[in-house]
Amino acid sequence: MAWWGDADETRVLIAPDHDTNGNGSGNVLSLRHPKTGNKACYLYFDEELLELHWFKQSYGSWFLGDYVCEDGRLYTATPVDPVFILLPIFDEARMKKKDDPGKFRQLDEILYVQGYEGYQQLASIAEKSMQIVCDFKEVGSAKFFRLNDSKVLRWLSYKVS
């Protein structure tokens, strides 16, 4: 899904308004969708993760000043809790077997997912957000994380409420 590769093409994007100093740039990341595992697009902007969707009607265009966006595509960026996106890779990383709770791993090891370099850009928010659902240990200056099933269930119950 490389629709963002042509940066010269004007598109309509509906996204949360961020109070910026005019820079307004973010990074488009390819990450695995937490439910399907398929490649999905996300916008990482100002320490916030937004999921990108696009819609296209059969007939339609956008008039943007003196420019006409002929295909009528509309892109939306909606905030998503990074824990939802990171849960599957943290689950895989602990290498859990039956009654064994799994292994503690360093964040950079967990965020290395072959074919998905975008996870490594999420290191700062991953460290903050995953402490809610993980056990962690500090050894010197290094932090090690392991997903905790009971913390995940409590977090999910809170999200449902």
pLDDT in tens, the chain (161 residues): 334 454 566 666 777 776 555 555 678 899 999 999 899 999 998 888 999 888 777 787 777 777 777 777 778 889 999 999 999 999 999 888 888 888 899 999 999 999 899 999 999 899 889 999 999 999 988 899 999 999 999 999 999 98
Please, where in the chain does CATH 1.10.10 lie?
Answer: 82-160
Please, where in the chain does CATH 2.20.25.530 lie?
Answer: 12-79
Residue 86, Cβ neighbours under 10 Å: how many? 25
The rounded distance, in Å, linking the Cα atoms of 147 and 102 is: 8
For domain 82-160, give the CATH number: 1.10.10
What's phi and psi for 156, nearest 5 deg?
A: -65, -40
Q: Which CATH number fits domain 12-79: 1.20.1260.10, 3.40.50.300, 3.40.1350.10, 2.20.25.530?
A: 2.20.25.530
